[in-house]
Amino acid sequence: MGSHVCSKCQRSGHNARTCYNKREVVDKLKEFLGKINNEAHSENKKILVLEMMSFLQRNIRFVHDHEHFSNVVRKKLEEFAIVNNWRLEEHYKKIFKKSMPSNEIILKNRQL
């Protein structure tokens, strides 16, 4: 029986559906962050953030493999929900497999 080679990382035994090429993911995230940082219009910024969250959902293993990055994503989603009043609960739930805390709980946790 031959060994399966992942089409993303070229290593055997990996599942291409959950595997990722770290360099490609990091480069794409840098591209998203640069566009978001340079975008002045709030609605366009929101569109870019939503596109980035969809990208992260497609590369969910990357998020969970990097704890610090995962915490940053969680905090940014919470921040966008409070500061910009963006409805990001579905993205939060898909990425973290739990409901986003209420704004009151988020604000309380940030004051600690």
Q: What six digits make up the tokens of 12? A: 């055997």
pLDDT at 1: 45
pLDDT along the chain (112 residues), means of 10: 64 67 92 94 93 94 93 92 89 94 87 66
pLDDT at 15: 63
pLDDT at 106: 87
pTM: 0.78
Residues 6+ apart with CB under 8 A from 56: 62, 63, 73, 95
Strands (E) across 2-111 are located at: none
CA atoms within 13 A on the CB side of 58: 11
pLDDT at 110: 80
Name the residue ranges covered by the structural domains of the chain.
22-111
pLDDT at 50: 95
